[in-house]
Amino acid sequence: MKNGNDYFETLFTDMPDSLLGGSSLATMQDSLVNAVFDQSKKMIGNMVEFRELMMMYNCAMKTVKTKFDVLNTEFKVRHQRNPIKFIDTRLKRTSSIMEKMERNNITFSLENIEEHITDVAGIRVICSYLDDIYVIAKALTDQDDVTLITRKDYIANPKPNGYRSLHLIISIPVFFSEQIKQLKVEVQIRTIAMDFWASLEHQLKYKQENPNSEEISVELKECSEIISDTDTRMLKIRKKIESSSGKPTDEELLFEKLKKFDLPLE
């Protein structure tokens, strides 16, 4: 069976002397093998570095998730209710990173990913009420190690299709064994109702070949307005209940304090 060297041998033996330019066959063979080896080494090195970068983004995501978990636990002990219903995290797939860079005419490199792709690490926080979104967002961005890069309020200014959410791009330091790495994380904060609308709209968007797409867009927009109205009304109901409960007596206050001891700290 022929090995790689045999093929090179044949290639160079069949080549006219003029093309070999005076170099010996062995020298040409060696330099070609070395070039291929160097190239492969570089490629493997790049793949290892890419994997490391993704690991770092994963850790950045965990760090931000912990920040939200801490805020939620604190809120629960102080106010006996969770402002956060649940948290979703996702790391952007390699193919999606590549596709986004190609779409935006950005050369694929680790430096460019860090500089231009702000949603490699994504975290979605689902809140109970409208006001919780802003309380949670402020509590996060007020932290000393959190740098706010961009803030898009699609609740105050919904997208034309009816999409609502508060989007933040933040940068945080993540502590590794030999370095502190500053990494960007995309945070989307929305209510349960907004999340319900966004996930269904996202699913529908990918269902192609719809002959009534104009009609569906109008209907989706209407649903978004109904949902927004419901969010506002639910918040009003909560506030009404809170204010109607009046000023607690000393006995009630003492009882409230006692109740807090039973709260699980999770």
Q: Which of 8, 89, 101, 119 binds Mg ion (CB under 5 A)?
A: 119
- Tell me the C-alpha distance between 199 and 177, whole Å: 38
Q: Which of 8, 25, 58, 119 binds ligand GTP (CB under 6 A)?
A: 119
Closest CA to 91 of 68, 69, 124, 67: 124
Q: Number of C-alpha atoms within 13 angstroms, CB side, residue 212?
A: 6
Closest CA to 64 of 170, 150, 151: 170
Secondary structure element (H or E) that encloses residue 208, with its range: none
Q: What angle do CA 101, 58, 47 make, to 5 degrees?
A: 55
Encoded one letter per residue, x for contact with ligand GTP by CB under 6 A and - for no contact, window 181-200 reads -------x---------x--
The verdict on 68 binding ligand GTP (CB under 6 A) reads no
Q: Which is nearer to ligand GTP, 18 or 157 (CB)?
A: 157
Q: Which is nearer to ligand GTP, 188 or 228 (CB)?
A: 188
Please identify, among the stretches 37-45, 117-125, 158-166, 248-256, the one whose residues bind Mg ion according to the rule CB under 5 A: 117-125
The entry of Mg ion, ligand GTP, none that residue 191 binds, CB within 5 to 8 Å by partner kind: none
The verdict on 152 binding ligand GTP (CB under 6 A) reads yes
Given a contact cutoff of 8 angstroms between Cβ atoms, the answer to whether 167 and 228 are in contact is no
The verdict on 114 binding Mg ion (CB under 5 A) reads no
The entry of ligand GTP, Mg ion, none that residue 159 binds, CB within 5 to 8 Å by partner kind: ligand GTP
Please identify, among the stretches 27-35, 115-123, 159-167, 240-248, the one whose residues bind Mg ion according to the rule CB under 5 A: 115-123
The verdict on 169 binding Mg ion (CB under 5 A) reads no
Token pair recorded at residue 99: 């596709």
| First-to-last C-alpha distance (Å) of the chain | 65
Instruction: Using CA atoms of 259, 139, 233, 198 in order, give the dihedral in degrees to the nearest 10.
Output: -120
Encoded one letter per residue, x for contact with ligand GTP by CB under 6 A and - for no contact, window 197-236 reads -x--xx----------------------------------
Q: Which of 161, 210, 213, 230 binds ligand GTP (CB under 6 A)?
A: 161
Given a contact cutoff of 8 angstroms between Cβ atoms, the answer to whether 145 and 208 are in contact is no
Secondary structure element (H or E) that encloses residue 48, with its range: helix 25-79
> Kind of pairing, strands 180-191 and 166-175?
antiparallel
Token pair recorded at residue 182: 């500053």
The entry of Mg ion, ligand GTP, none that residue 198 binds, CB within 5 to 8 Å by partner kind: ligand GTP
List residues binding ligand GTP (CB under 6 A): 119, 152, 159, 161, 163, 167, 188, 198, 201-202
